[in-house]
Each structure stands twice: as C-alpha cells, then as structure tokens.
C-alpha cells in the first residue's frame, strides 16, 4: 500500500535550501519515492491555515518512507538543510 510524506517548510535561507534540494531528490528516488507536489501554488479551501511550503511525496509503502527518512543519503540532505529554515514531516499510509 502506498504511503505519503507531507512536509511543511518555512525557508529562511534560500541558498542553503537549494543545497538540500539537490541532495534530497536522489535520496527520495533511491527509496522508490516520487514527488507529487513540491512547493507549488496553494489555494486555501477551508480554514485559516497558510503553510509557507508544502511537499508531498509518494512511497511504495510506509516502511519505504521510513527507510528513506532514516537513510544515510537523506541524513546527508538533512545536514545540508541545517540553518535553511524549519521543517515538519509526517508519513501516513494511503488508502
């Protein structure tokens, strides 16, 4: 069953975040993930939530999403992201 990661990011250092993006994409692909949304235009449909940047990634399973997050490849990307802003990530099973 597919699983998804949802990341909410508030970027404070664009140059530093670009370094992260260069490392994160290959790590996502290595673990079978694919980007479904990566910071595109948003439209608030209900409520008062205005997240600065939303990234949605699909993985083949929750186990794969967790393996990606704890992988050496993504750990390197997370280190590169330090100081670039704040990030919240959640993984959820699909239906």
pTM over 0.75? The answer is yes
Fold of 3-40+53-93: Alpha-Beta Plaits (3.30.70)
> 90: Cβ–Cβ under 8 A, 6 or more apart, which residues?
5, 6
Based on its alpha-carbon atoms, the radius of gyration of the chain, rounded to whole angstroms, reads: 13
Supply the pLDDT for residue 32. Answer: 98
Supply the pLDDT for residue 74. Answer: 98
Largest Cα–Cα separation, the chain:
38
Domain extent listing, the chain: 3-40+53-93
What pLDDT, in 10s, does the model give residues 26-78? 999 999 999 999 999 999 999 999 999 999 999 999 999 999 999 999 999 99
């Amino acid at each position: 069953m597919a699983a998804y990661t949802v990341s909410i990011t508030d970027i404070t250092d664009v140059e530093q975040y670009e370094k992260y993006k260069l490392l994160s994409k290959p790590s996502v692909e290595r673990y079978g993930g694919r980007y479904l949304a990566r910071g595109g235009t948003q439209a608030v449909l209900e409520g008062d939530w205005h997240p600065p940047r939303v990234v949605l990634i699909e993985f083949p399973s929750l186990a794969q999403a967790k393996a990606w997050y704890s992988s050496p490849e993504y750990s390197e990307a997370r280190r590169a992201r330090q100081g670039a802003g704040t990030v919240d990530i959640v993984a959820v099973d699909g239906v």
